[in-house]
Amino acid sequence: MPISQQDFKNALKEFKRIEERGEFWYRARNLLLAGYELEAYVLILATWNFAGFRYILKNFDTKNFKATIKKLNPTFDKLSHQTLQTVDLENPIIAKQIKRLYQALKNIVKQTGASKMMALKNPDLFVIWDTKIRKMYKIDNKADPNSYVQFLKKMKALFSHIRWTDTERPLAKAIDEYNYIKAGSAK
């Protein structure tokens, strides 16, 4: 069932009221845009994926992380003009590119971290998920690349009617905030 405009608006207002870390997403995005890509990803993972990142950090291979990002950037560039509203997720080339990004990042920072990094790199297209959000949408927690593409399809279908005029916060980022509140990720 589609999300109502008012429910969406109320959830975003609640997110802003309760989530003090919200500002860090924008700081990380600004770091990325200024060319501090590694620092941006570490900031987002340390503030928004701290539960999983603390375990990854013990054996974190910075050289491999940098090399992976460098290798993935051309694929990110190919998708840079895509938005959740306009992307054709049925296009096998686009789906393959998304799956490639997701799997490579998942191998390093797990499924939630992968979606957070992807959303930071292209906040107009990628929607973040975590365990509670996957559970809310009845998605297997193994969260393979096919599941992530199916999740994006679901987000596009559920939120396609939402009127969105905010020029500072992309719709995909607002959907993340809505899901965060509704899934109880704040608790």
Q: What is the pLDDT of residues 35-65, one digit of tens each?
A: 999 999 988 888 866 555 555 566 677 898 8
Domain of residue 104 covers 5-183
> What pLDDT, on a 0 to 100 scale, did the predictor assign at position 25?
86
- Looking at every residue in the chain, the average pLDDT score rounds to 90
Rounded Cα distance between 69 and 161, Å, is 34
> What pLDDT, on a 0 to 100 scale, did the predictor assign at position 123?
94
> What pLDDT, on a 0 to 100 scale, did the predictor assign at position 49?
61
Domain count across the chain: 1
